[in-house]
Structure 1
Amino acid sequence: MKSQDVRSKFLSFFEDKKHSIVPSAPMVLKDDPTLMFVNAGMVPFKEYFLGNSEPKHTRITDTQKCLRVSGKHNDLEEVGYDTYHHTLFEMLGNWSFGDYFKKEAIAWAWELLTEVYGIDKDILYVTVFEGSEDDGLEMDTEAYDLWKQHISEDRILKGNKKDNFWEMGDQGPCGPCSEIHVDIRSAEEKAKISGKDLVNKDHPQVVEIWNLVFIQYNRKANGSLETLPNKHIDTGMGFERLCMVLQGVQSNYDTDVFTPIIREIETISNKTYGNTNKVDVAIRVIADHVRAVAFSIADGQLPSNTGAGYVIRRILRRAVRYGFTFLDKKEPFIYRLVDVLSKRMGDAFPEIKSQKQLIENVIKEEEQSFLRTLDQGLILLNRIVEETKNSTVSGEKAFELYDTYGFPIDLTALILSERGLKLDEKGFENELQKQKDRSRAASEMLTDDWTILIDDAEEEFVGYDTLEANVKLTRYRKVTSKKEGDMYQLVFNLTPFYPEGGGQVGDKGYLEDVRGDVVYILDTKKENNVIIHFAKNLPKHINEPFKAVVSDEHRNLSASNHTATHLLHQALRTILGDHVEQKGSLVKPNALRFDFSHFAKVSPEQLQEIEDFVNARIEGKLPLQENRNVPMEQALEEGAMALFGEKYGDTVRTVRFGKSIELCGGIHVNNTSDIWYFKIISESAVAAGIRRIEAITNKAVRDFYSENNRVYSKMKALLNNAKEPAKALKNLQDENAELKKQIEGLLKDKAGTIKNELKQELNDINGIKFLAKKLDLDAGGLKDVAFELGSQFKNLFLLLATEQNGKALLSCYISKELVASKDLNAGQVVRELGKHIQGGGGGQPFFATAGGKNPSGISDALEAAKEFVK
């Protein structure tokens, strides 16, 4: 059965069971601080399990893109070494929000697997929760009895809390689960050992394919469990593993989900899959990782140095280094796999097809960058090897190479072993653990349970229409972190505070009670569809009404910048072309940032045209036209821009200014004239095919021109109030250039004179022409003298020193003949001598320099050079 048919049969089956099919949510999360990525099928529905929102449909089915590469669920290091773990995978799921429960979930799972897919009942095992004394929970006999109706009791296994009690985190909805495992071993292997003895033992052919979670409890902050008012079903079946079973193969990588990618890797690398283990692992790693990176970019997450972007960069670099080490690929090639991926998965996930060119560009640039890093790392590693006095390289130096330069530790170990050296792995692990401990300590957060004041209160956002509202506190909790200290998170029955979202920062303001006591709201965010207000203090009278007031300046300036991003988007598409799409934005009171897809640098002329386009709309005084509840399809038909990576509902809010219309939940000005003026500050590259414009509006523009005027006046005064300051400045630059040319000529003459004098001072020590001397020259002068003398004398060893701006500089020149015959290295010499001036340096074997902060040590360095040559 082809993978496309496996997916469609699953969705059709549950559609027949009255489930609504919903599209996969973007993998990158934007309103859940507990996760970077969707790591399980239930994550997009957390707000329903938490009771924060009412689902439109109580029965849902989907295939969800998941990424398990960080936090509690992290499969990254297993990928490639086994045949059934992945970074990105599809999770097929069916969901019930307070509708059906165990009976239906178990019966339908069995019907689908055995009747629709035709899986042999005799290769299936199921597990049920055995109970937990710690939680005071007994065995899930209800699930056990239901399974007995479908499968023999000897195939129903009892599982412990680790395997058969599912929790989304340390707190929140949870419950017992039943896993369905499949044994696809040969008859001979089954005769040797029963499949039941291999369930949950990490056997590659006895694997879990489906988990049925029965959510019926809530885990509180103190670890206790409370029963939920409604019971839910949350199931997740591994699409790739199911394909392995239905296609009769022994590995996920032998299914048609992966074989086209693997064949392309074989063609590009000229290596064959299935011959050697190291090559096989590398090919599996690359085939898996290109999917994860491609879908992340399609969902709006580019590789970067922080947060989720760092994780994506790490995945891609892992793939590059496996290709570099085991497939001998020293040039970019992973980007070439995107075409195959797009053809295989583009129908089910159209974002991968429409974003294909961008994905290829970004991956190729990242590959090129990391390959340069590997080249630089090899140079640094060679230096470390040269400095190693024994057979073991310290873990501290290896960690510096890993942490500072991004050089993979496994590649370090491989190269060292090839050179007959060992790596102090324990030392490296110690340094790595120290870093993890520092990171964990910095981000550690303790979160109390919610204190409920008003139960079942439905929160309402009223901030589109007002900056003030009378509110009631419905719940709160205390959160403690090392960075912020104690902070309180407050939720109200309604709120005028806009929560961070759509690139716009959250509102600030204050709460005031009837006595005049004030608590300041420092930020507003959205978490699982709940608007949370952050305050350093808890209001004194929590059960009384408050007046909630949003900072009007903070809000209005943010709105000005947000509307400007819409006009900027329109300008870019009009002037640069319809290929331009928004790839991220940041809207603050004092500035805006807008990332967009474009293949080339935007010229100064185009930037001026873009700026003029936006300002024309501002001068046109276009009114805000919004529709807060329009069907998604209707909005798209009207021309509204939908962004990849955003999660939209069935109904959306549209924001229109003239011909600019976008889907947006953010805050905007009532009229474009409120923006006052739009000014571009910079344009730059973010990644291959991604550009960034930074700009300002309103008050920030006034401040910008005011500061520019102040600087202009000061500059004009320095130019003696010249009538034409620009011309006067140009004259100064010309005069300065001429003087520099004269100085360079004088210095060259001086260096020539010094060179002739130095010839007389050369000493013959053991057949070496030697001189160590301090000169009154700059760094360039020292180099010129050294190379001039070097061109006239063989077997020359020079150490020249100078003092510039309170710092010391050493230049070491060794003739290439000496380098070869005496096995000398100027880089090593100058690093050792640099210790006398409290500095360091390096360079080539025949010429190297060192700088230091202790000029008084120059004489010692010169004397040490003499002793070295002797």
Structure 2
Amino acid sequence: MNQFKPIFLGTVASTDDMSKLKRAVDTQKCIRAGGKHNDLDDVGKDSYHHTFFEMLGNWSFGDYFKKEAIGWSWELLTKVYGLDPNRLYVTYFEGNPEMGLEPDLEAKDLWLSVGVPEDHILPGNMKDNFWEMGDQGPCGPCSEVHYDKVGGRNAAHLVNQDDPLVVEVWNNVFIQFDRQKDKSLKSLPAKHVDTGMGFERLVSALQEKPSNYATDIFTPLFAKIQEVTGARDYTDKYGKDDLDGIDTAYRVVADHIRLLTFSISDGAVPNNDGRGYVVRRVLRRGSRYARKYFNAEIGSFFSKILPALVDQMGEQFPDIVRKQKDVKEILDEEEEAFARTLDRGEKQFEKYAAQAASTGAKKLSGADVWRLYDTFGFPEDLTKLMAEERGLNIDEEEVAIAREKAREASKSIKDSVQTFAKPNVHQIAELKDKLQISTPDDEPKFTKGDIKAKVQLVFTGTEFLESTKDLPLKTPFGILLDRTNFYAEQGGQVADTGRIVIDDVAEFKVLDVQQFGGYVVHNGYLDYGVLKSGDEVICEYDELRRQPIRNNHTGTHILNHSLREVLGDEVNQKGSLVDQDKLRFDFSHKVQVTVPELKKIEDLSNSYIRQNCKIYSKDVELDLARQINGVRAVFGETYPNPVRVVSVGIDVDMLLEKPENPEWRKVSVEFCGGTHVEQTGIIKDLVIVEESGIAKGIRRIVAYTGDAAHAVQRDAEEFGKRIELIEAMSFGPEKESEVKQATADLNNLVTSTVLKDALKSRFNKVVKSVVDEQKKRQKAESKIALDAVTGHFAKKENKDAKYFIGHLPISANSKAVSDVLNHFKSKDKERTVYMFGGSPSEGAVVHGVYVGTHVASSGVTAETWSAAVSEIVGGKSGGKEPTRQGQGNNADKIDEAVEAARKWLEEKLKL
């Protein structure tokens, strides 16, 4: 209901389309899986909780109120939908004397009047029957309707008692108060109605099913789950009756695919922060259920269920049809990342659980719960679920303490460790000759997944050690391994981050990876335990961070190719940066790249991406590789022999069969040691957000790919809608304010350069129309102001008047005031003028004074006079004698200021 809050508070602008609304109906996509309203723990365990559900709403904005809402809801449920009135129970607010709230007996009487028996009408407390948006804002009593799925009994005592067979289906919220900062309540100027009906619960009642999950909302999803897993039929059993846990797993998976699909389609992608973390938790919880109870292989499980949901709900919500491919890719990426640690995490959990059992403890320690999250990616609620299965509790306070300690330690280390020690030429020689340590096999960095490796040495910056036992925890140092899947910073691509672990023995956080003379140094700090030479460790780079880096690096190759195609052969790479957020590409070009050229470059790049070309790579003898027609390399860069050749769309072996083939110029072929996507379609889109010059003859392009590209495209789309709203506004202070704010926001908007240029062109027309109207009105107001003042002196009774003091019929228009002052300054120097413009509704006031020669001879100055007036209207004044102008925001004191200006002058002139 947030979008309707301005209507409830009476602050909606008259030019806003919503200001015309009297009634509305909608279906809201609702998520309850985090924060204050969190149903995640209950999903799967009962028949009516969901992390995603639809809320059917109808709204009245100062139109109908309690009488109509209650009458119509009863009519709809009993006459239109045909629900048995004897199964329906209603509640009303019982009041709260401490807060000065009377019982809502009006609602009770209205329910009686439509035919609800008195023993089916129940009082309810603040929790159940008083709706509040937050600590402040719109609020009011509510009146619920509950449905008894059994019937043939009086179920009044089961209402609001969490009985799965007596459930709330509808809530009428009567928004009539505004909660103030001091907790007091003010009546709203208009009374409103917000009703919510749970779609899933309504369907359950209409289909006479004891459970929401037994309805045809979920049966198509259950059928797909069964098809994918080969599981037994769904039987709608709960708790102890669900002996093998399969029914619970059906419910969890079906519920979670709904939340995942709709949240990702709306832009809430999984990550470690805010709403993104909620999505990640839900996916990991569902993945664990799927594997434990369905023996499903994790990595692409949810995306196999996805088509059934799209078929079922795509017509009502077309976004999930358009975003299906993106949702599938994100689900698979997330599952793959979790699958790599799921086995190990479960084994570690079993170890912790066994330790707890052996000591007779009935709980897991908070430190263990946190480590399961930090090392294996198990969200706290997933560990809690697994603990419940083993009859163990979790002390959430202990978990919070462990979490905070870890975060504080991590923050202090990351803040203090800016750079890591680099082995010098003598230390590299020591590794090679004295210690006879071979350079590592780093080929695994080009593949996905964790690997096992052996610790060779520890590097402190001053010496090489065989063990960390004498190093304090959290000390920055480096580790050398015999093989690695971590990418060391090179070729413009940033280094990987991640961890090197021996499960529950030692964990090393990798913050940076560098290569020196072929040796790869993993820099970071030891979180716990001891590592020593010969230890077998698991190497986990952060796949969810590397994936967008892959996108950006392959995108850089495609951009490089497109630049040459559009701008010509003069374009050569001069530098690049590829990280998880963006790609940055520097190239030779003598002039600024025009917007039409940028559009061609962007379109060509995206055309290449959408061909979903496979990426090929191969180590090739340097001299042979140089012969490939059109191959791109950085001028002046020294390349190894053999060199790695990366081709977008054509097998490297095919390129080498006839390297001089002129067709190869149409292909992106580069020397590159970076990581890349498997196929270009994974990149999704490439959006250029910046083009600039960084040196003579050197230009720079910054671009986004993947989800980041989609996000800035959405921002452009939203800004386009904002321009539409501004265009539709009537001219006035509100539109002028909106234009001013939008101008600043558009300048700061990070989006496609091409789209931004189009937005600016469109918005400039709006700005011009406002400026033209301002000039037109300023000119008209200048005339009105001058006519008002000169007209005053033209009157017969004022022919000998020496001054004018008054409030003119103009807005807070400084230009009009200035024009009048200039008139008297040049054409009527004897007379004195003090005038005011503006109004309380405008919230602004302007004032200006010209001290004519007659008054000036009495010692009056514009500066002292305007200073006295400014104290009343606020602000300050400025100017050069004999004039002064000012402005303020105490527009409600204009009349007082006029009178004060008059009295001040009269006292000076002793009139």
TM norm structure 2? 0.45
Which structure would you say has the larger RCO, counting Cα contacts within 8 Å and 6 or more residues apart?
1
Larger Rg: 2
